[in-house]
A and B are shown apart, each in its own frame.
Chain A
Amino acid sequence: MSAVVDAVQVLVFPGLSFILSYTLFVEWLSRKTVARLQNRVGPLHTGWQGILQPLADFIKLMVKEDITPAAAQARVFNLVPVVVFAIPLAAAFLIPIQSLTGLYSYDPVASFEGDLAVVLFLLTLNALAVFLGGWCSGNLFGAVGATRVAFMMLAYETPLTLVAFSPAILAGSLSIKKIVDWEVAGFQGFLAQPSLHGLLVGLVLLVGLAIYTVCLLAELELRPFDMSEAETEIVHGWQVEYSGVKLALLNSGHYVKMVLAAGLMTSLFLGGPSGPVLPPLFWFLAKTSFCVVVMSNLSALFARFRIDQLVSGAWRYLVTLAILQVMAVLALKGVV
């Protein structure tokens, strides 16, 4: 019996099928948000309010001719899109959404001590795959885009990891599920009996959330940090030579990563999929959609930075802030 439940969990809900369809929704939501901010309507005529637009794009790309340029290193070039698509998808299994075992249970499909570290590791691996993909595409713009991806990784990886570990330190566990449990318990305790300590923890986590959001914009290659695929500078950067199925996978991989990032953000800072009255699924969707809207908003509000500005800015401000934040966390925990 439990094997059947596990299979359904992995393949249908909250696993593969659910995440993929949610990915399509997130793509629509993000495009629509950006369009509205830019005084346009965005996709409109494909399904209700254009909600099927991402699906149409995906299918169209899947049936398009698939070109491998002669100058590219074919094996790596063809493998990278699969990797870029699969990595965030695998990591998304570790995010608590909704369990089939109980209406109010949100056990992830897989959970173990240290899965937070695994998720962060997979995100880094993803960036490395992207670097290889650009480098091996046999195009000058692809190569420039790839080096930029590597540079960006240097910039955002450190603060991102530092900040992501701060809730883990407070919760005393590296399991995402346990962090969510700690957050829920802590929040309920705070509501029952407000304390200065609880307030400070909340504030410190809020700072962490801000740093984390900025790093995510870079991780997701959203504006103002999309220099690795800057259209006006280096065409589409590392993606320039990809077409057909490979482009479809890259495109979807991007939005799976967005779902993963929003899910991680929710789990680490916003109390995960828990909330009053309604089941976790609703709260997961509400909170991650909110995160996506916020990120799309931010990406529409700024001009693109230059790569050197990102690197120096990240090390000057973000890393300092992240270190201060971790120190504050340690102080609150009573370690220092």
Chain B
Amino acid sequence: MSERQFVIPIGPQHPALKEPESFYFTVDGEVVVDVEPHIGYNHRGIEKAMESRTYIQNLYLVERICGICSNAHQTAYVGSVEAVGGIEVPERAQYIRVFMQELERLHSHLLWLGVAAHEIGFDTLFYYVWRDRELVMDLLEEVSGNRVNYAMATIGGVRRDLNPDNFPRWRKAISKVQERTEYYIKVASTEPTILERAVGVGYLGKGDMERLSGVGPNARCSGVPCDIRKINPYLVYDKLDFEHIVVDNGDVFGQVLVRALEVLESCKILQQVMDEIPEGEIRTKFNPLGRIPEGEAVYLVEAQRGELIHYTISNGRNMPYRHKVRSPTLGNIPSLVERLKGSYIADIPIILAGIDPCFSCTDRMLFYDEGKDRSWVWTEEDLRKYRREWFKE
């Protein structure tokens, strides 16, 4: 490190990072020379905890790996368990899973567009996008009863049915989102200040991206076709008609483009699901304490941020012997580091945000729940006392 260089730590608490991670940037003036990611502030080790819980209990656990891609994790988890146990999923349930998955993708991509706008200081766009995201949140709440952790998928199917009476209203809301997104694409591709901050920023070419095994929109913006829904279809994605969005811009603008276009494709898929969803059961019975026969299976899912893998090994008991999760963000960190080198300090937030990092997925924590001790209630008096005592020290 020469004398002109100094190290800027960003994180674990920094406005550009909504999550506690830190990056040590070696900078020369305003230019980044080297980056060292320090992750693990969110390490919970859910993998260890899953080994001591039943398959049904684990459903709620995997959902809380990440609050934004909760449904993707759940889909991948039940997919891998069903593959081990050879459990058939009714077709209607598969459609409903696709429906949830795409709704979640809508909300997540809109969230990202807003955050990206915020990172380059365009708060007005951030507020507009998040306002429209609430339309999607309303839909999610109406379908599943929850705004964030939906608890929709279960082993053998889904837990709640879609009511066809609501379809006309949902269609309207979805076309509204679509219309809005088209407008934002127009804004983002014509507004000069956005273009100044996005085009050519954090460039990474196709070759490098393939070498570093990037996933999701981060890789697709560099021209690597890697949408699991297309190249390794699961559920009923092979029956649905949608585009494989790949662009070769390779920069932040490409990431904006991929995500915005994917929002439009998701709207298309949602409309198709409502058109084509067959009648029938929504789940096959699975005993909550049921055992899964010995075996192992891998299940890949295209989460909003990219390829998500769940790998289950069962030894015939009612708890998994080992369950491995790899979230998309971990796969994107090597390419992120490559993108950051040579960029300006001012571009760090947008490049960081560019891969749509989700560190809570990345560092799963080890945890364990005794089920006791949880329901203690503090009265106001207790709280006051506690505060007083604390201050005395």
List the B side residues contacting A231 at CB < 8 Å: 15
Specify which of A232, A304, A309 lies most central, judged by the most chain B CB atoms within 10 Å of its CB: A232
Residue of A nearest to B122 (CB): A303
Q: Does A286 contact B (CB under 8 A)?
A: no
Inter-subunit contact B121/A230 (CB<8 Å)? yes
B8–A38 contact, CB under 8 A? no
Question: Max chain B CB contacts within 10 Å: which of A226, A306, A307?
Answer: A306
Q: Beyond A232-B16, A303-B194, A304-B193, list 12 extra A-B contacts (CB 8 Å).
A: A39-B127, A140-B6, A140-B8, A230-B121, A234-B345, A303-B122, A303-B191, A304-B120, A306-B196, A306-B346, A307-B344, A309-B196
Q: Is the CB of A232 within 8 A of B127?
A: no
From B8, B128, B344, contact of A39 by CB (8 A): B128
- A residues 302-335 in Cβ contact with B at 8 Å: 302-309
Asked if B197 CB lies within 8 Å of chain A CBs, one says yes
| B344 and A308 within 8 A (CB) | yes
Number of interface residues of B (CB under 8 A): 30
List which B189-228 residues lie within 8 A (CB) of chain A: 191, 193-194, 196-197
CB contact list, A115-161 vs B, under 8 A = 140, 144
Interface string of A214-235 (1 = CB under 8 A from B): 0000000001101100111111
Contacts of A224 in B (CB 8 A): 121, 193
A235: B residues at CB distance < 8 A:
14-15
The yes or no answer to A45 lying at the interface (CB within 8 A) is: no
| Cross-chain contact A230 with B346 (CB below 8 angstroms) | yes
CB distance from B222 to the nearest CB of A (A): 22
- Cβ of B375 within 8 Å of any chain A Cβ, yes or no, is no
* Bound complex: CA A140 to CA B25 (Å): 12
Question: Which residues on A sit within 8 Å (CB–CB) of B30?
Answer: 307-308
Residue ranges of A at the interface with B (Cβ–Cβ < 8 Å) = 37-40, 140, 144, 223-224, 226-227, 230-235, 300-309
Chain A: minimal CB distance from B183 (Å): 14
Of B123, B128, B194, B347, the contact of A306 (CB 8 Å cutoff) = B347
4 A-B pairs closest in CB distance: A304-B121, A303-B122, A38-B127, A303-B193
Q: Report if A233-B193 is in contact (Cβ < 8 Å); known contacts: A39-B131, A303-B122.
A: no
- A302 near B345 with CB under 8 A, answer no
Residue of B nearest to A301 (CB): B124
Q: Contact at B197–A304, with CB atoms within 8 Å?
A: yes
Among B8, B128, B344, B345, chain A packs the most CB atoms within 10 A around the CB of: B345
**Closest A residue by C-beta to B115:** A232
B244 at the interface (CB under 8 A from A): no
A38 to B30, CA, bound (A): 31
A303 to B123, CA, bound (A): 8
Let me know if B193 and A305 touch, CB within 8 A: yes
Given A231-B15, A233-B345, A233-B348, decide whether A304 and B122 contact each other with a Cβ distance below 8 A: yes
Question: CA A308 – CA B347 in complex, angstroms?
Answer: 11
A232 contacts B119, C-beta separation under 8 Å: yes
Q: Are A38 and B15 in contact (CB under 8 A)?
A: no
CB distance from B82 to the nearest CB of A (A): 42
Query: Using an 8 Å CB-CB cutoff, how does the interface string of B92-126 with A read, 1 for contact, 0 for none?
Result: 00000000000000000000000001111111110
* CB-nearest residue of chain B to A230: B121
* A144 x B121 contact (CB < 8 A): no
Residues of A within 8 A of B122 (CB): 302-304
**17 A-B residue pairings within 8 Å (CB atoms):** A37-B124, A38-B123, A40-B127, A140-B6, A144-B8, A226-B121, A232-B349, A233-B346, A233-B349, A235-B15, A300-B124, A304-B193, A304-B197, A305-B193, A306-B344, A307-B344, A308-B30
Q: Provide the bound-state CA to CA distance between A37 and B137, in Å.
A: 23
State A233–B346 Cα separation when bound (angstroms).
6
B112 nearest CB across to chain A (Å) = 14
Report the bound CA distance from A40 to B128 in whole Å. Answer: 10
Which B residues touch A144, using CB under 8 A? 8, 345
